[in-house]
A and B are shown apart, each in its own frame.
Chain A
Amino acid sequence: MGDQLTGSQILCRALLEEGVDVLFGYPGGAIMPFYHALPEYPGLRHVLVRHEQAAAHAADGWARATGRPGVCVATSGPGATNLVTGIATAHMDSTPLVAITGQVPRAMIGRDAFQETDIIGITQPITKHSRLVDDVEELADAVHEVFAVAREGRPGPVLLDVPKDVQNQKLEDPGPRARGPVSADHREGLVGRPTATALLEAARLIARAERPLIMAGHGIILSDAYEELRGLAERTGIPVITTLLGISAFPEAHPLHLGMPGMHGEVHVNRAIQQADLIVGVGLRFDDRVTGNLAAFARGAKVVHIELDRSEIGKNVPVTVGLVGDARAILRELLEVLAPRHCDAWRAEIETFVRPRPESFKGGLSPEGILESLEGASRGRCTVVSDVGQHQMWVAKLFRYQRPNTHITSGGLGTMGFAVPAAMGVVLARPGEPVWAISGDGGFQMNMQEIATMVQERIPVKMAIFNNGYLGMVRQWQQFFHGRRYSATPIWSPDYVRLAEAYGIPGWRVEHGGQVEPALQGALDHDGPALIEFLIEQEANVFPMIPPGASLSEPIESEAVTA
């Protein structure tokens, strides 16, 4: 007792009390007192990124892999604004992210001081909560509050803005504190429990439906409801559709696994949705990429929506029964009242919807082949982090995910440049298994500076670039909807093998099928980050494709209909 602690020391200690062991960040003027204290807390590993956006994505990747809040740190002004894309990414995909920013000293706030931005104001629509710390006395509580908010209910990003003088402010050591429930009253109305009537009504609909489907989203992964989802499917025989963020919530080799729905969903999946008489949606928000034209979405289906966030129920799709609460808890309650049934006739009908995949690739280096080899080389024991665009759809659809939460991607915001930094967070969360960051040549070039971070911090991300010389998804849309005017989509790349060499890591260029497996094996065998560039067909397309604004019944299945 009697010892004085600085705000920075209190901040570090509160982070340790929250179970934090790794932070991704970048120092600067207004956060320097925190960085001064950091070495006194060896339990907090700091990863120095090359751009603050990468810190936010890496913390997001870490959070997605662990289910615990990921932490990123930046200075005021440009440091803080560089976090914005990463925070928005976490917000759209409901991942618990804690962003800590330095702020100019309190007396200078509002005076347009050097490197001052109103980061609370800037991030207000993309955070679940944010707080400017007015005094060191409230700092520890503020840390615990923002962590609680990030974690509880529907997870999301929070921001803690700490003025530089508060970091330096001294306080008599209050002693370590027990972590208590923080601001529980705020959470009221956020997490509920379904009424018995609603639960029984849902069970009745499930028992009576002739053409039911389960649509599983990110909520299964967030609430660790894999067993319960599988239980529901196996008890009832209802086929399971997994949304982009629901991929790896259900084993893909399971006979009840159907696939991904929506804009790039397989024809039989979307057709099943359009023919269904009941959709049991669990932990998803019926995003427009999933539903296509809402007015024509699953017209014959009643909808049971199981969702933690009450405001999602009925937001996009009219809901017959909404069950608000934790997916795992509700699925367990449902399983208690559901009698076994099967859906054999309906499953047989869906089988008849299956269409052969059209030949979409020429040459020996197809995304299918690459991903099949990648799966084989990793023996399925790896986590795949994808970027945004064509490769993202291939990675979502062509890799068979068997283990929970092994597919990580930026779904809601669709953030190019996500994969490489996010994979760094995933590697630190899962040191025992290979982590692949798969990007296109566009997205890779958005954050490739992070190879330096991987080298300096010894983070062995295995990077794969699907290089087609185009911003492929935009080019595909230009091909189909803009008369093949490839405006600003051809994109030059550096020599990636020499780039790897410059960073001192091994790199491979793969131009034909025979080179795939040796490169994959070489990258996996190397004890450190490694890079493979796959030169794929330049104008390969992702099929099927629902044109924007069209219904799930109107897929484009091949080049034949190209304008």
Chain B
Amino acid sequence: MIITRAVTVLLEDHLITFTRAVGLLRRRNLPVRSLAVGPTVTPGVSRLTIMIQSDEPTAERAVQHLQKVVGVRAAAAFPARDGVTRELALVKVRASGERYGELLDVVQLYHASVVDDSPDAVIVELTGSEAFVLSCIRALERFDVLEVARSGAVALELGLTEAGTRVPANI
């Protein structure tokens, strides 16, 4: 079934390792929706989260190929609905004086926050699922959106799982 799936990868935090992992996604022609990378609590190890739109065998194959990359410590895949997925977005909006209050209402409605309030434009910070972030950006589009920076999603699977601990059932 083609659904959104998260592929999470723990890898050494060298650019070359990251390049290899990401290059592999391109080379294997994987349907990537977003990428996010950042440090973990282990020094020298980063976590790469790849959201893909695929069936299960494709996601498993991505995991197996990623596990072969030198510098990748672990990789795992799970359906996005079996985990918690969060994305952060910063949206720079211009709202003229009379619509400023209206903007604040929208921000409040989405439990977002204004993190910068410059005279010309405000920056709104939103966090949530991909759908939530998209819906919020759409709501903000009734104002003058100048720039949007989205982080790409990070995800954790529910329950007692750890990247790279499962193998396909027939092996």
A residues bordering B, Cβ < 8 Å? 120-121, 124-125, 128-132, 149, 183, 185-186, 189-190, 192, 194-195, 198, 309-311, 313-315, 319-324
Contacts and interface: CB of A to CB of B under 8 A. Distances in A.
Interface string B26-43: 010000000000000000
B68 interface: yes
Contact of A129 (B23, B57, B70): B70
B111 interface: no
A14 B19 CA distance: 28
B65 A125 contact: no
B61 interface: yes
Most central of B24, B64, B67 by chain A CB within 10 Å: B64
B168 interface: yes
Contacts of A314: 57, 61, 168, 170
Contacts of B24: 125
B164 interface: yes
Nearest to B66: A311
Rank and list the top 4 A-B pairs by shortest CB-CB distance, nearest first.
A311-B64, A129-B70, A322-B171, A189-B67
Contacts, number: 57
A185 B73 contact: yes
Interface in B5-20: 16, 19-20
A313 B171 contact: yes
B170 A315 contact: no
A129 B68 CA distance: 10
A322 B61 contact: no
Nearest to A312: B64
16 contacts: A120-B16, A183-B70, A185-B73, A186-B71, A189-B74, A192-B167, A195-B171, A198-B171, A310-B64, A310-B67, A311-B61, A313-B168, A314-B168, A314-B170, A320-B170, A321-B170
Nearest to B73: A185
A311 B19 contact: no
A311 B20 contact: no
A125 B70 contact: no
Contacts of A194: 171
B170 to A, nearest CB: 5
A319 B73 contact: no
B171 A315 contact: no
B63 to A, nearest CB: 9
Contact of B170 (A192, A309, A319): A319
- Counting chain B residues whose Cβ lies within 8 A of the other chain, the interface size class is 20 to 34
B68 A190 contact: yes
Contacts of A323: 171
Contacts of A121: 19
A113 B87 CA distance: 41
A310 B27 contact: no
Given A190-B67, A311-B61, A314-B57, A124 B19 contact: yes
A124 B70 contact: no
A149 B171 contact: no
Given A124-B19, A321-B170, 20 more contacts: A124-B20, A124-B23, A125-B23, A130-B16, A132-B16, A183-B70, A185-B73, A189-B67, A190-B68, A194-B171, A195-B171, A198-B170, A198-B171, A310-B64, A311-B67, A311-B68, A314-B57, A314-B168, A315-B61, A322-B171
A329 to B, nearest CB: 15
B152 to A, nearest CB: 22
B8 to A, nearest CB: 15
B170 A322 contact: yes
A149 B70 CA distance: 8
Given A194-B171, A319-B170, A125 B64 contact: no
Contacts of B70: 128-129, 149, 183, 186
B58 to A, nearest CB: 11
A324 B171 contact: yes
Contacts of B64: 310-311
A282 to B, nearest CB: 15
Interface string B154-171: 000000000010011011
Contacts of B73: 185
Contacts of B57: 314
Given A186-B70, A311-B61, A315-B61, A125 B27 contact: yes
